[in-house]
Amino acid sequence: MDARETLRMAGRSIRSHKLRSALTVIGVVIGIASVVTFASVGASVEADIVSEVGSSSASNVYVLPTPAGEGDDGPGFGGVSQPVFTEHDVKQLEKTKGVRQVLPRGNVRVSALTHANDTVSRNQITATTPASFPQDAIVAGRAFRSGAREAVVSRSARQAFESNLSVGDTLSIETEDGNATTVDVVGVVNRTAGQLPFASFAGQPRFYVPTDPFYERTLESPAVGASQRAYPQLTVVADPARVSTVKGSVQNYLAGSDAAELKPESVELTAQTSGDFVEEIQDIVGQVTRFVTAIAVIALVVAAIGIANIMLVSVAERTREIGIMKAVGARNRDVMGLFLAEATVLGAVGAVVGLPLGIAVSYGATVYAEVAFTPAYGWFVIAVAVGILVGVVAGLYPAWRAARVDPIDALRYE
C-alpha cells in the first residue's frame, strides 16, 4: 500500500470522527502556537534592544562603579551612584590614545522645576559637559556653554509643563535647600553622546545643565592633592575603530586612578562597551525566552499524550476493521502505517494551524509592546517539524498495538 493511499485512508478515518479529531488537534495547535509566540516575542524584544543600542553609542566605553563580586556574568548594569571619578581622572583619560572625548555625568539634586508658573516636582537633573550634545543630536537651538546658566532638554521634556517649553524660554530650578536659580533653555536634543545604551527607551523628560557651575560634589584628588569635582559616571567616546583597545587602556588606567583610591571596598570600577551591554541583554532575554519556550514545550507534550490517547481509543474501536484488513491482505506494516499516518496528520494539521496563529499572536504582542516584530524563522521550521514529530511519536505505540492485532481474535466476535 503506497503512501498516498495510506494518507487517503488516514484522512478518511480522521474525518469520520471530526469532533474528536478537532479537539485533539487543538492541543497541538496550542502547543505549537505558544512555542512560536514565545520564541518570536523573545527574538523581537532582543532585536529591538540591539537596534536600540544602535550605532550612536557603539563607540562609547562606559566607566562606572559597580558592586563588587557579581560572579562570572560580568558586572551587570546596576551601577552604584558613587561619585569617585575626579577631574584629574577625566583629564588623564582624555589623554589616552584613541579617546576622542570623556564625558562626565552626575546628578544635581533638586526639588522642583518651574516653567511659566507651572511647577513640576523632580528629584534630580543631569549635569554634564557641552560635548555630550553632538551636532546631529540637537533638534533645536544649540548646546549649553560651560560656566553659563543654561540648560538643554530632551524632546519629551518640552511637554513636561502645561505650556510648551522651547528654546529661549527660562526654567527655574529649585534646589534642595529651597534656593531657586533661573537658567535659559538653549537647546533641545533627541539623545546625548554619553547616554547609556538603553536610555532612550524610557523616553522620559530629561534636563541637562553644565557641570560648571551646577555640579557641586567634590572630593580631594589623591593625585593632585586638591579638591575637585567627582562624578559617578564617565563616558569615554572612542575612535570607532579602536573601541576595544580603548576599553583595555581605560581598564589599565582605572587600576591607578583617583577613583581606585576613593572608591569604597565594596565597589569595583568597570569599563563596558555598549557591545558588552548588548551581550548581557541578549543573555538575559535569551534565558527568559528559553525558559518560557520550555514551558510551551510542555504544552506540546500534553498534546502528544492527547494524540496517543485518541489513537489508542481508535485502535480499540477499530479492532474488527483491522482484522478485516488483515484478512484481505494487509500486512502488519500497512496497518502500522495507517495508524501512524493518522497520528502524523493530526500533528501536522495542528502545526499548520498553530504556526500562523503563533505568528499572529506574537505579532499582536509586539505591536502591543511597541517593539518591532522580528519573526523567529528558525523556530517556525522547528515548530512544524516538532508538530509532525509529536504526531509520529504519539502514534508509534498505538500503531504498534494496531499492527499486532490478531485477525482471528478480531474477527471472531460480532
Given candidates 91, 97, 145, 333, which one binds another protein under the rule CB under 8 A?
333
Nearer to another protein, 16 or 179 (CB): 16
Question: For residue 74, how many other CB atoms are within 10 A of its CB?
Answer: 15
In the complex, the smallest distance separating the C-beta of residue 392 from another protein, rounded to whole angstroms, is 22
In the complex, the smallest distance separating the C-beta of residue 327 from another protein, rounded to whole angstroms, is 5
Q: In angstroms, rounded to a whole number, what is the distance separating the alpha carbons of residues 314 and 227?
A: 86
Nearer to another protein, 368 or 413 (CB): 413
Side chain identity at residue 382, one-letter code: I
Cβ proximity of 61 and 271 under 8 Å: yes
**What's the distance, CA 198 to chain centroid?**
11
18 near another protein (CB under 8 A) = no
Q: In angstroms, rounded to a whole number, what is the distance separating the alpha carbons of residues 209 and 147?
A: 10
In the complex, the smallest distance separating the C-beta of residue 324 from another protein, rounded to whole angstroms, is 5
In the complex, the smallest distance separating the C-beta of residue 411 from another protein, rounded to whole angstroms, is 6
Given candidates 332, 353, 371, 389, which one binds another protein under the rule CB under 8 A?
332
Number of residues that this document lists for the chain: 414
Given candidates 58, 248, 334, 400, which one binds another protein under the rule CB under 8 A?
334
Nearer to another protein, 72 or 414 (CB): 414
Name residues contacting another protein, limited to 305-324 (CB under 8 A).
320-321, 323-324
10 near another protein (CB under 8 A) = no
First to last CA, the chain: 27
Enclosing H/E stretch for 102: strand 99-115
Q: Which stretch binds another protein (CB under 8 A): 55-63, 115-123, 331-339, 372-380?
A: 331-339
DSSP secondary-structure letter at 145? P
- Cell reading at 182: 533661573
Q: Which stretch binds another protein (CB under 8 A): 174-182, 306-314, 369-377, 406-414?
A: 406-414
Q: Render the burial of 190-199: b for 16+ CB within 10 Å, e for the rest.
A: ebbbbbbbbb
Applying CB under 8 A, the site for another protein has a residue count of 24
Task: For strands 124-128 and 138-141, give the pairing.
Answer: unpaired
In the complex, the smallest distance separating the C-beta of residue 406 from another protein, rounded to whole angstroms, is 9
Given candidates 16, 55, 121, 179, which one binds another protein under the rule CB under 8 A?
16
Report CA-CA distances (Å) from 146 to 8, 21, 132, 244: 81, 74, 12, 30
337 near another protein (CB under 8 A) = no
Nearer to another protein, 176 or 317 (CB): 317
Q: Which stretch binds another protein (CB under 8 A): 22-30, 137-145, 258-266, 325-333?
A: 325-333
331 near another protein (CB under 8 A) = yes
The residues, any chain, with a CB within 8 Å of residue 333's CB and separated by 6 or more, are 403
Given candidates 116, 224, 327, 360, which one binds another protein under the rule CB under 8 A?
327
Reference 32, options 366, 245, 389, 350; nearest CA is 350
35 near another protein (CB under 8 A) = no
330 near another protein (CB under 8 A) = yes
Given candidates 88, 206, 326, 401, which one binds another protein under the rule CB under 8 A?
326
Main-chain phi, psi angles of 304, to 5 degrees: -65, -40
In the complex, the smallest distance separating the C-beta of residue 333 from another protein, rounded to whole angstroms, is 7
Q: In angstroms, rounded to a whole number, what is the distance separating the alpha carbons of residues 189 and 331?
A: 77
In the complex, the smallest distance separating the C-beta of residue 9 from another protein, rounded to whole angstroms, is 8
Q: In angstroms, rounded to a whole number, what is the distance separating the alpha carbons of residues 317 and 310?
A: 10
Cβ proximity of 79 and 263 under 8 Å: no
Given candidates 72, 265, 370, 414, which one binds another protein under the rule CB under 8 A?
414
196 near another protein (CB under 8 A) = no
Nearer to another protein, 208 or 339 (CB): 339
In the complex, the smallest distance separating the C-beta of residue 4 from another protein, rounded to whole angstroms, is 9
247 near another protein (CB under 8 A) = no
Question: For residue 88, how many other CB atoms are within 10 A of its CB?
Answer: 19
Main-chain phi, psi angles of 111, to 5 degrees: -115, -30
Q: In angstroms, rounded to a whole number, what is the distance separating the alpha carbons of residues 408 and 32?
A: 41
Site residues for another protein per CB under 8 A: 1-2, 5, 12-13, 16, 320-321, 323-334, 407-408, 411, 414
